[in-house]
A and B are shown apart, each in its own frame.
Chain A
């Protein structure tokens, strides 16, 4: 809405316009009269151009004349003129109706809503409210319901009993009225000049979201989310506009003003979330200064509303199963290939009669659960009166994992209380407190080549049986001699032990049996209390104290077991760990808003102090406990001192002290300006560089509000905005600026088997260490087209410089590490596009939203004379590093060998020669890879590796469709990513006899058989399989139908009688279909470097039924 203040209705208007937009003329009248004219842009879009020529005419008369043939009318309310829809379709009520209903329509804060339409549902019978919001309407019968509507507010349909019905309408969130949370306040979206993506409660309603990261995935342009694991309760990797730093790229999470570290965000219950805002450009991030470089995510939880008590319930129940199984070789195929591999390597065949093994064991089926249970219940009660409001909720989540369910499960209990108290009309006190307890059972290794049930199921030979019953085998090695330590099933039969594939690969059922009962737990409480005063209108003083307390730990009993000869502990052990952390922040802000004519200002001044990482941990292990199961284990068994092993430690507290200021200025919501400056001091930097200053500004222009903007039916609103700013990153080790001594450089100089303590200096100190700075420019526009279609577009360029890292110093310095320094720089450029389309056709409501973003990451500097750096690189088994960072390449791009097909015969090997005619691969055999000699030196060496892919997707996209017809609704939500490669490292390279995927049957077996899969050989002298090469890379593009939900809302007339406001039931599926060419379990793979598949725990496919009601 637009408001212009004040001379009065007595003003005489003089005007002459031809073919002018109505809006332009209205503004001119408003200007001359000095009054406010309140209208909605979309309403004016329906009006036609006007011709008017008047002289010294009173305002009211001028308005009448102006709107003569327009589909809108006006009413005068105090010093305002309200433009409203024509009451033409509101007809007088027939005389034979029996009941008269009257009441008042107000806003949620109790202000009258004049001009609201009150209509008998399903008819054209209705009226509109008067200047005090009052109405009176004759209604045909008792079974009717009334529809209350006014532009800019959400309509309500209510049944009535008796003859009185008062209604509160809440502001509807349209592109024009929406507000967004920015740091330390809210802004109308119409005047926002930064790049901010939002997710709102209604987008999440009924969605099967267990962790907040999932709420952002596919719903926010420019935010890349990849789940770290399908293990219930697992976190996801979040990247806002790509990789910003060489260090930690986790965004700053701020929940109701409390900074919560990335790892601790899992306590939030999605149903408590009112909105999430992702601040993506520096102009909006700068208010968070020193820690904002990797993006800021603001989470606001629900608050109570004055008025009626509302009770709402959301819940669902369902079952999950794996969406995909890998196609592994059966026992006969395995034995056949093993023989071939041995013979090719010059050894004798291993298995005399492969066919005798039949199909063998399908290890995957032993660990996958096709009916893992999943449920979520959330109940909230909110309400309040004039003096106070509250919102309180309780949630319970229980999810079983689809892999090895006995040791994969997550439960969470939530509790929240948010309330406000008006102590005096100008003084408010409030608090927002959330608490969660969770209990998780995990596989241990969820994306690891070193064991765990998944990795074992993929690598174990299919010959070994799940359960060994053959007495002959049981009396031989490895069973003989280990009888007491063998794991057994419920009937006491020994689980099979493979003598073929060993190391960390063990019978998954036996492995599971060694972890039964073990669990991890955590208590998290995050909250704040605040006092806010508004002593004079527009001046707000607010003081907030927030804190986060977390306690977590684990209880693990490891019995004696013999899984194989390498997994065979000498003692049982019972370990207990206890950890705690505490963080607080204290912020004081003062803001003043003032509108003077069309000028509106807001000034914010603030001060903050922050402390985090006051953490403590202890761990105690008792060995040789007189117990054989978790249940029996206890530390009340006082084992002897040598059997008690303990450890502990404390964190180094990280503190920040800040001052910040922000100015917002808008003229007529047409010219917009915002400027921010923040100064932060951090405990991580020395006196030389303690403080960093982070400025930003942004501008906006709304040409659609200009008088010259032609009246048209295409562009209803258009806003251009752009900004520039600097934000920081202090993510480097504490005390890196100080010369310190490291302990633990111990050495054994005595017979007694005990090391002496040794200490020596750590890395050289760097007293000039300072902030890493990210400079970002953003240009974008927002538009409302054809009344129903919104477009939001952003282009950005982000340059991170002085990147904090530990650059290599010469090893001859002999230092224990590298000194921290500000060295690298990196650039990210990208575009983001978000579209929504809303349409109501009769009873059919339709809402389609989509977003897509593209980002290009390039490292631009890593130090003088430095060819490459290894920071954060991914490595895989014996290949060692598989990614590397070099100037001109994306951060940690895949750096591997390229192959040019498979040598089909000796002649091809002989003719593959270097410049001087020597054979490049003299030792190769037909069936081996022909490696690309990149540097052309005629020899295949590590220098022939090249940058052949990027593990980070450069495209991410999402789409949501909501449609409703009468009581039925459907939600389709899909998301995906593209442009990355996935490293598929599912097979152990150092276990030559591990099982293969079925695609290995297409290996090279003779001339012409294949040009892409080399021969098998236990020697593998050509390193066909042990070289890091493009052989292991696959495209990671995917498009996933994340949620499909079909709901039915029971008729209001029915449920209202039972006291319910709304009752909805739904069925839904999560991860129903994934379109991808990737051949592993799941293309979505999080982690420090994304897309490294070591046997990722896949996302489950779930089918659920759900119920939501509001009472």
Chain B
């Protein structure tokens, strides 16, 4: 036999040596980095889902006490280095970093438009910083990898000093901002989800905020929020949506709206199926949070029957009940049933209060494919209301009074005014209460509790141990045959 006979012909699969040869392929490499932003593991773990289950506003719910166990263990704080959502989120971060490192390594050699090449590189760097930010705030002691690792060196990687990771994140985002070919805003509907200078400033502000660099944070947010809170930002095009409810609609005209700074995109068109849940481009949060066994009478809300995860607690229900955002935030199926409009099945931890912002609807269920896995609703990573309130927080923490006439006051009350609430003083507590109401169910509250040290008070009743749970454990998987050491909160040396 000739040697050819034994050569594998991998139909439809490119060899790496033959890839990254033109702009189309470089663009595919870039999309693969963005893909990680919308990461959904096979176990339905997302950063937002985890943060909701771990917050004081919601509980894991589901069908039983072990249903999507990764969510249950952060509600009850029984996670271990081996079991918990941190595993998937660690993988997510490094998957994104690898893809960014790979593209940055290959990009210099790709024959393509120099303008696009520079823009791609800026986006890759931004995204690398973005993934490191998530990893650092969750795990603290992490390996800092800035080029693709070979298998021969993979077991000798040390954990980096957190300060050097913060510096890398800032450097990456600043490098993106310094790139003239990274646009301020995107007018074409085709590329709406891509990173702009506005996105980078917001992200950098957030990075400063987490480091308590209040002045620098406020300065970056100010660029995003514009000179007059509530008015359009002429540079980056941002403006609060007039109608709060429109933020959570999944029709194309509501996606990448003027309030969206960095958005997590999903599609109903990928034909995702049960064979590979993580492969779908649909948003799985929609089916997760739908009421279980929901049987509406004609005229009742058209939720699809879901899996009853991430139910709101009674405490939160009481907290938000008289806020104008209540009905856009909480699906009060308990009330629907009591009033005879629907029946539903009471799942684990049932309260009857479901996550209205993301509950799947008959009206947005996909036309094709497996209904559960193909909802098209996007999520926000950063929206303008968030940068308003973060700037307000930075200003107040930096010493601004927050009284009438202050910028912090204007920022806070712009957010309130949008939903018809009257102005209040921008005290730090008021800002945090506003954040809790505004972003409920969007995966923000938990990180606020952690970064401000408020978690112990808010979550103590659930088993949150302040000596341990302010940081996630390094996944058990990573400790085997590597130089990784466990965080000291989890019994290690780091």
Contacts and interface: CB of A to CB of B under 8 A. Distances in A.
Contact of B28 (A759, A810, A864): A759
Contact of A758 (B14, B35, B255, B305): B35
B15 A738 contact: yes
Contact of A755 (B101, B269, B367): B269
Contacts of A950: none
Interface string B371-409: 100001010000000000000000000000000000000
B253 interface: yes
Given A481-B296, A812-B143, A1023-B65, A759 B25 contact: yes
Contact of A503 (B5, B6, B293, B481): B293
Contact of B64 (A621, A748, A990): A990
A838 B378 CA distance: 76
Interface in A808-822: 808-816, 819
Interface stretch (A314-322, A739-747, A906-914): A739-747
Given A746-B31, A864-B481, A819 B151 contact: yes
B28 A758 contact: yes
Interface string A549-565: 00000000000000011
Contacts of B97: 814
Interface in A841-897: 863-867, 878-880
B368 interface: yes
Interface stretch (A404-412, A641-649, A703-711): A641-649
A490 interface: no
A568 B191 contact: no
B1 A609 contact: yes
Nearest to A864: B481
Given A738-B8, A942-B80, A1020-B64, A570 B367 contact: yes
A394 B262 CA distance: 67
A570 B98 contact: no
Contact of B12 (A571, A649, A880): A649
B419 interface: no
In this complex, the member of A649, A812, A943, A993 whose beta carbon has the largest number of chain B beta carbons within 10 angstroms is: A812
B252 A623 contact: no
Interface stretch (B45-53, B66-74, B319-327): B66-74
Contacts of B190: 749-750, 752
Contact of A565 (B98, B294, B347, B478): B294
Nearest to A819: B151
B267 A642 contact: no
Interface string A756-800: 111111001010000000000000000000000000000000000
B487 interface: no
B98 A813 contact: yes
B293 A566 contact: yes
Given A758-B34, A878-B64, A1026-B65, A623 B367 contact: yes
Given A740-B10, A758-B31, A749 B281 contact: no
A571 B34 contact: no
B63 A811 contact: no
Contacts of B96: 814
B99 interface: yes
A1020 B67 CA distance: 12
Interface in B6-31: 6-17, 19, 25, 27-31
Given A657-B1, A746-B35, A645 B64 contact: no
Contacts of A755: 265, 267, 269-270, 281
Interface in A128-147: none
Contacts of A749: 31, 34, 190-194, 265
Contacts of B91: 811
Given A657-B1, A749-B192, A750-B191, A681 B6 contact: yes
A536 interface: no
B208 interface: no
Contacts, number: 289
B154 interface: yes
Interface stretch (A25-33, A109-117, A682-690): A682-690
Given A480-B297, A746-B35, A813-B154, A739 B16 contact: yes
B293 A564 contact: yes
Interface string B167-192: 00000000000000000000001111
A82 B281 CA distance: 82
Contact of B63 (A481, A764, A989): A989
A570 B17 CA distance: 45
B486 to A, nearest CB: 14
A470 interface: no
A477 interface: yes
Contacts of B154: 809-810, 813
A440 B492 CA distance: 58
A566 B305 contact: yes
A704 to B, nearest CB: 46
Contact of B17 (A569, A655, A682, A739): A739
A91 interface: no
B434 interface: no
Interface in B455-494: 475, 477-478, 480-482, 484
Nearest to A342: B346
B110 interface: no
Interface residues of B, number: 107
A502 interface: yes
Interface string B134-145: 000000001101
Contact of A690 (B6, B34, B35, B102): B6
A811 B475 contact: yes
A690 B194 CA distance: 45
A570 B305 CA distance: 13
Nearest to A681: B6
A450 to B, nearest CB: 9
B85 to A, nearest CB: 13
B293 A740 contact: no
Given A645-B368, A755-B269, A747 B12 contact: no
A438 to B, nearest CB: 24
B90 interface: yes
Pick from B64, B143, B348, B368 the residue with the most CB of A within 10 Å.
Answer: B64
A757 B13 CA distance: 14
A734 interface: yes
Contact of A815 (B17, B62, B98): B98
Of the candidates A651, A753, A809, A989, the one having the most CB atoms from chain B within 10 angstroms of its own CB is A753
A991 B63 contact: yes
A588 B210 CA distance: 73
From A681, A809, A864, residue with most partner B Cβ within 10 Å: A809
Given A502-B293, A753-B267, A810-B155, A1020 B65 contact: yes
Contact of B343 (A499, A651, A740): A499
Contacts of A682: 6
A866 B256 contact: no
Given A623-B367, A623-B368, A761 B294 contact: no
Interface string B254-293: 0110000000011111110000000101000000000011
A1087 interface: no
A812 B157 contact: yes
Contacts of A943: 80, 82
Contacts of B376: 753
B480 A865 contact: yes
B67 A990 contact: yes
Interface string B79-106: 0101100010011001111110110000
14 contacts: A477-B296, A480-B297, A499-B293, A500-B345, A739-B16, A748-B266, A749-B34, A751-B255, A755-B265, A759-B14, A809-B151, A943-B80, A990-B63, A1026-B65
Given A570-B362, A749-B31, A814-B95, 8 more contacts: A478-B295, A751-B255, A759-B28, A810-B482, A811-B477, A864-B481, A942-B83, A1027-B66
